[in-house]
Amino acid sequence: MNALSLAQKIFTRRDADIVINRLKNNYGARSSCNLMIETNLIKNKKIYDAIHYIRRKTDFKPRLALVLGSGLGEFSENINVVSSILASEIPHYPVSSVQGHAGRLVFGYLKKDAARSMPLLIFQGRIHFYESGKLDQVVFPIVIAYRLGIKKLIITNAAGGLNSSFSAGDLMLIKDIINLTFLQGQSKDMQQDFPHSHPLEYFDSTMQQKLLQCASQLKIALKEGTYCWLKGPAYETPAEIQMLKRLGVDAVGMSTVPEIYTASALGMKTIAISLISNLAAGISQNKLSHAEVTATADTVKEQFSELMKKLILSVK
């Protein structure tokens, strides 16, 4: 069975032609590429199935997406909800096992007085690499967002603070990233589709500037710094934290970087924000726990909410 025949068994004729042409543009039309194309058709079917299910549930067309990290999921309560879908209902969609990640896709608008945001998709929770060991699952929501037509992305997370000027409860604009997982940071699909090195600029400077302006107007002391991705799930040792400080790391966590890589490869305008939920091992005298993460998020949820609302309403 050739690639086109396989595509037509998986998709409608029109969608099969679109997928085949897209893959040929990436891999070329040579017959030697057929196996690679056929393999990717199977993987594309997972995305197709998920999109098809979402489209059966709602015809809402989001243009801006927000990924809510640990303890930050309550922000979705600010949204005028048009539709809400449980992640567990969507075919092939990975479901988080971590407390504070509800696993819902929320479609709607943010409104304040006469102002209304762009159409929004909020991912209430995320998948971490340590939950499955599969990058395909980690970046699945980002690919879904892209296929739904989203061009702009806001990523949030909870992170441990290393910078001596940081306190638990601070918010940090991620200006740069360090990947110490020794993984490519993209799924195998993305590596094949975008084989070249990552760009030097992952983040959209216009959206970053908007966030800084919003923080200034709200009198929020927004920090800026470098975020480091580690695999987890264990927290870092004090010795590891000292090593990371010497490398110039300001905050450390177990997520976000694969999402940034994928969004960048797909051409999505992206910014990322960390909640400094705790001071890292050896800096804080407290024993680290996920409960501390959620407790800190609860104390700053109003500040975080006001900043996100102002930013979302300013993005055009």
Residues annotated catalytic, as ranges: 70, 101, 128, 130-131, 158, 254-255, 278, 290
233: preceding bond cis by omega (within 30 degrees): yes
Residue 68 three-state SS: strand
Q: Which of 275, 270, 280 is nearest to 303 (CA)?
A: 275
The number of beta carbons lying within 10 Å of the beta carbon of residue 29 is: 13
Q: Tokens 């929770």, residue?
A: 125
- CA angle at residue 273 from 306 to 93, to 5 degrees? 100
Identity of the residue numbered 245: K
Q: Which of 242, 240, 235 is nearest to 289 (CA)?
A: 235
Q: Tokens 């971590």, residue?
A: 98
- The Cα–Cα gap between 12 and 15 comes to 5
- Strand ranges in 210-310 using DSSP code E only, listed in sequence order: 223-229, 251-253, 269-279
